[in-house]
Amino acid sequence: MGKAGKGTFLLGVGAQKAGTSWLHAYLHGRDDADFGFLKEYHVHDARTVESLNPFRSLARQRGLRRTWGELQLWARPRTRRRWGFIQHPERYFDYFEGLLARPGIRLTGDITPSYACLEADTFAAIHQALEERGIRLRVVFLLRDPLERIISSVRMNRRKKGLSDTAEEAEALRHAAQRRPRGMAIRSDYRRTLENLDRALPSEAVHVGFYETLFNPEGIAEICDHLEVPPTPAPFTTRVNAGSSAGLDDLPTDALADLGHWQRETYRYCLERFAERDLGRLWPTASRYCS
């Protein structure tokens, strides 16, 4: 294995609502893998993308934490441990090195979709820190039809607030397309993420997959080959943290057209970059409203 003799670290960089929870459940359940105490560690985004991460802003309040929810969050051992990783990133890398030192463990990692927001120098620093420990870095970036991904994200956020998928959903989508909130915009910018990965890492370290082809033996075999582990039977019918993509045809066409106008450049970039994937067929909603 050369310098990467200790095993493989998977850095999952999203996209949000593109199958990352399912992928984590599958990989973490393998006998040769251990992803530790979290799916999303939120270390690198907390350290470098200040406007997007609640853990950093929450921690800064220290003794001034005011709400019961905040106190409950900080009572969790995993939250305190995560903050230790954020303050001392060498502990983060040491932790995963320790997981790979366990008998039979070949694969570990951190699948945090908001890592799609990281800059090229952060990706390069992660690569260097792992390489210094003799650990192979492999990145997986899962893409999904841009419009369907945003719709699923909006629906997820509404469910968290106790809101149902009503007529107000269309207004929420129009608002997102017109206001383009920073968190949603940067997570939706596939081109930015891909080009930062291109600048920071060797091409063999990065696998770009697609939500639409993930849940079958061929899709999971591609990822396992990238991670240098053998494919094992996967629970393709199991849904993990799945949002609703049903009823897209019932959404007002003007709301979808607004989203399409917003995502047009991302769609066209992906059409060109992944010409062999026939995204016009694979991403039917985007092909209809972004063309």
Tens-level pLDDT at each residue, the chain (291 residues): 334 479 999 999 999 999 999 999 999 999 999 999 999 999 999 999 877 666 666 555 544 445 545 545 555 778 888 889 999 999 999 999 999 999 999 999 999 999 999 999 999 999 999 999 999 999 999 999 999 999 999 888 888 788 876 668 888 898 899 888 888 899 999 999 999 999 999 999 999 999 999 999 999 999 999 999 999 999 888 766 655 554 676 788 999 999 999 999 999 999 999 999 999 999 999 999 998
Per-residue CA distances from 6 to 3, 10, 41, 97 (Å): 8, 13, 21, 8
- Which of 112, 96, 84 has its CA nearest to residue 7? 96
Paired tokens of 247: 């009823």
Q: Locate tokens 């993420």: which residue? A: 193
Instruction: Identify residue 172 by its one-letter amino acid code.
Output: A
Say how far apart CA 291 and CA 284 lie, in whole Å.
11
What pLDDT is recorded for position 169? Answer: 86
List b or e across 219-235, with b for residues whose CB sees 16 or more CB atoms inside 10 angstroms.
bbebbbebbebeeeebe
Paired tokens of 177: 């397309």
Beta strands in 144-264 (DSSP E): 206-210
Q: Locate tokens 């999971």: which residue? A: 220
What pLDDT is recorded for position 149? Answer: 95
What pLDDT is recorded for position 112? Answer: 96
The whole-model pTM stands at 0.89
CATH 3.40.50.300 is the classification of domain 2-289? yes
Per-residue CA distances from 160 to 53, 157, 170, 243 (Å): 17, 5, 17, 11
Paired tokens of 120: 């090229």
Q: Locate tokens 């105490």: which residue? A: 37
Residue-range domain boundaries for the chain = 2-289
Contact status, residue 15 vs residue 150, Cβ threshold 8 Å? no
What pLDDT is recorded for position 183? Answer: 85
Say how far apart CA 55 and CA 53 lie, in whole Å.
6
Is residue 52 exposed (0-12), middle (13-18) or buried (19+ Cβ within 10 Å)?
A: middle
The residue count for the chain: 291
